[in-house]
A = this chain, B = another copy of it.
């Protein structure tokens, strides 16, 4: 073995460029803190001609990944191609060739993480993925090492910068969803096809990974409830504020004796909570554990620079392990029996309900009765002045804690009532302390 750690990068996009840039910028520090110097030997990409604005002198550029996989000198393969098929094959081949793997691929790990972790363990190699969740926030390290003695009870995360940017702009400037989305796209914060970000897929991938690490169990992505932010209006954001809350696209994971709650949806969080203060493209992960108490980790959620730095931190971990001549276990922490994800109907929280009512006497009493029949009680209530007679007006109410199934059953009845002119709209409230 040569006295350095040799890296092969597959995928020279935004994060790959950030990684190369970090290696070049902080070389001295990175080498001093790695145990062995980090040497980027080869970059593989379909496009190796477009300039990326970083110096690749001395690095071999190729469009053959076998130039990396079959190079015995390469210790660490960095997978930054994304997607699930090719990336899967690549990671499997790299691990089977006896190489450590660093990846930022949350989608792949959300679907097939445990299988790949098992392979890494079997091969005695590392499979590191700090860059997969919360770019600039070292949350994987924190969960796996920093607070590993604590039993995690719950995680609340703002894990998608695009969605958080849109919500921040809607709230700050009263923009409607579409306008805020277009602005985010113009600023490069949202992709041309923003579906993954605004419909919560990306957030769901990330909370699956965090839940697996935090709770020590496998989580099936398909069991995760997922709802995006496209139906939110400025009206909802204003009403939330009036009620003392702010609306965030939240990933929630909670451990119960009977299973896990893992869900992604817009939620009202108290204005006084730490997580309510997370604005723009930033991410944050709020964790409660025993005996940790509450803790929060905040930083840039995406971007080539912060995410590239996380990739480099993982490479440094691989370097340190090579330097001490021994690989430790990966400690993926699947130490608990498989806790299954409970059906969404079993979730219990308080709710924000928006109804469009014809201003007819008695409608409200019927709504209250329908909720009461399911054991759902009203906590607060805001009715707008009607602008014109006989016009439908929005009525917003919050409930005390109730199960999702009870609330949905009640709303089904409410929807059928005369005088209720639209499908009732529901948001969940997370009463975070801290």
The CA-CA distance from A237 to B173 in the complex, in Å, is 30
The CA-CA distance from A326 to B33 in the complex, in Å, is 18
Are B308 and A291 neighbours in the complex by a CB distance under 8 Å?
yes
- Nearest B residue to A314, CB-CB: B149
If the complex has contacts A28-B335, A335-B33, are A148 and B316 also in contact, measured as CB distance less than 8 A?
Answer: yes
If the complex has contacts A32-B335, A313-B146, are A296 and B295 also in contact, measured as CB distance less than 8 A?
Answer: no
Which of B35, B149, B216, B299 touches A293 (beta carbons < 8 Å)?
A: B299
Stretch of A179-187, A204-212, A317-325, A356-364 on the interface side: A317-325
CB-defined contacts of A144 to chain B, threshold 8 Å = 33
* Cβ of A136 under 8 Å from chain B: yes
The CA-CA distance from A296 to B299 in the complex, in Å, is 6
* Cβ of A50 under 8 Å from chain B: no
- One complex includes copies of this chain to the number of 2
* Cβ of A277 under 8 Å from chain B: yes
CB-defined contacts of A293 to chain B, threshold 8 Å = 136, 299-300, 303, 305-306
The CA-CA distance from A331 to B324 in the complex, in Å, is 12
Are A130 and B151 neighbours in the complex by a CB distance under 8 Å?
no
Are A296 and B298 neighbours in the complex by a CB distance under 8 Å?
yes
CB-defined contacts of A32 to chain B, threshold 8 Å = 216, 333, 335
Which of B145, B216, B315 touches A317 (beta carbons < 8 Å)?
A: B145
Residue-wise, chain A 10-45 has the 8 Å CB interface mask toward B (1 for contact) of 000000001001100110111011010000000000
CB-defined contacts of A326 to chain B, threshold 8 Å = 324-326
Residue-wise, chain A 332-363 has the 8 Å CB interface mask toward B (1 for contact) of 01011000000000000000000000000000
* Cβ of A174 under 8 Å from chain B: no
Are B335 and A29 neighbours in the complex by a CB distance under 8 Å?
yes
The CA-CA distance from A339 to B266 in the complex, in Å, is 47
A304 to chain B, nearest CB (A): 8
* Cβ of A274 under 8 Å from chain B: yes
Which of B33, B298, B312, B331 touches A331 (beta carbons < 8 Å)?
A: B33
The CA-CA distance from A32 to B35 in the complex, in Å, is 28
CB-defined contacts of A136 to chain B, threshold 8 Å = 147, 292-293, 295
CB-defined contacts of A26 to chain B, threshold 8 Å = 149-151, 290
* Cβ of A123 under 8 Å from chain B: no
Among the interface residues A130, A290, A295, which one has the most CB atoms of the partner chain B within 10 A? A295
- Nearest B residue to A272, CB-CB: B277
* Cβ of A412 under 8 Å from chain B: no
* Cβ of A137 under 8 Å from chain B: yes
Which of B146, B323, B329 touches A146 (beta carbons < 8 Å)?
A: B146
The CA-CA distance from A292 to B315 in the complex, in Å, is 16
- Nearest B residue to A299, CB-CB: B295
Are A30 and B300 neighbours in the complex by a CB distance under 8 Å?
no
Question: Which positions 256-307 of chain A face chain B at CB distance < 8 Å?
Answer: 274, 277-278, 282, 290-300, 303, 305-306
Contacts from A to B (Cβ < 8 Å): 18, 21-22, 25-26, 28-30, 32-33, 35, 130, 136-138, 141-142, 144-151, 216, 274, 277-278, 282, 290-300, 303, 305-306, 308-310, 312-313, 315-317, 320-321, 323-329, 331, 333, 335-336, 434
